[in-house]
Structure 1
């Protein structure tokens, strides 16, 4: 290469482009994952219930404001989030569970040992519903309106701060467990 060749600046240009790309991601919240399904109905499904012999469909996610919580026994953060889900359920917040890519006996034992905050638990053994929802991993929580539409998606554990900052402002007060978990 000649010293005056434009190719001499190619490594510098590559470095600048890489630096700009990396810097653009620094200010973003990793918990904020966009969801193409916000404002759209929960995808159609027909799956088994974890605790009954029933088949559960997307119709079970209509008629009231509720949460859809994606969880699994292999998920350490799900264990951290579980007491908060129990507190929300005790305050009357309806929570449907989506047991994601898990072993059914382990999931049943988990709920028997730690308590069951869920109105019903959908078994997503192969992860297809999770894939249809755009789930990256557990835990994730979706806020579903009475029409069965996704209003909000939160990746990561649901805790008091997230509940108050993200979920409560979107829910009618009479549907939100009287102000959230304390």
Structure 2
């Protein structure tokens, strides 16, 4: 058998870029459709029911102060991952602010991969609903938490056990339907 002629090979090769574009288009479309899924919080987290990863991070508003995960134990808290560069965090911010104003539990900000001045400016512009803001400038602690985007939110009980995780911007409906029942379970267990 002889090899196909160069012109036959060239004619079949001209379809390769088109096939690659179509495959990439299908994958992009699937990704967009998954990101619109209202049940995004259903993404599994291996950390649910396990101790929150240990950390020591700088406090955004207190130069030189390092906060350890052990300092947060003793009362439940909501850890909210955000960044000044995150458009969805801006959408979530009023919802988070209203929830923080209830003072039902401490809301801890986890400023992720942000510039110090940008984070401070963002909070000054939109308000600071956080009891404390931790800064993970390099994103190393976020890896331990399994964080891969912002916003993400974790509910941690008084013993430092992660009880709930939500990926995406919090809404009033998510707080009512998902967060508050989990918080009630934690409160009843004490």
With structure 2 as the length reference, what TM-score do the two structures score? 0.74
Which residues of structure 2 form unaligned runs of 5+?
1-29
In 1: Cα distance, 2:53 partner to 2:182 partner: 21
8 Å CA contact 1:74–1:102 kept in 2: the answer is yes
> Deviation of residue 28 (structure 1)?
9.3
In 2: Cα distance, 1:174 partner to 1:38 partner: 13
Q: 2:144 matched to 1:132?
A: yes
> Deviation of residue 29 (structure 1)?
3.6
Q: 2:35 matched to 1:46?
A: no
2:42 aligns with one of 12, 32, 44? 32
With structure 1 as the length reference, what TM-score do the two structures score? 0.77
- Give CA deviations for 1:27-65 in whole Å, capped at 9, x if unaligned: 994442111111111111111110013111112331112
8 Å CA contact 1:124–1:130 kept in 2: the answer is yes
Q: 2:132 matched to 1:103?
A: no
> Deviation of residue 173 (structure 1)?
8.3
Equivalent residue for 1:168? 180
Q: 2:165 matched to 1:153?
A: yes
In 2: Cα distance, 1:43 partner to 1:166 partner: 23
Tell which structure's C-alpha radius of gyration is larger: 2
- Give CA deviations for 1:122-176 in whole Å, capped at 9, x if unaligned: 110111111110012000000010101100010001111111111111113896x
8 Å CA contact 1:98–1:121 kept in 2: the answer is yes
CA RMSD in angstroms comes to 2.2
Give the count of matched residue pairs.
Answer: 152
Seen in structure 2, the aligned counterparts of structure 1 residues 52 and 88 have a Cα distance that, compared at 3 Å, is: same
Which residues of structure 1 form unaligned runs of 5+?
1-21, 176-182
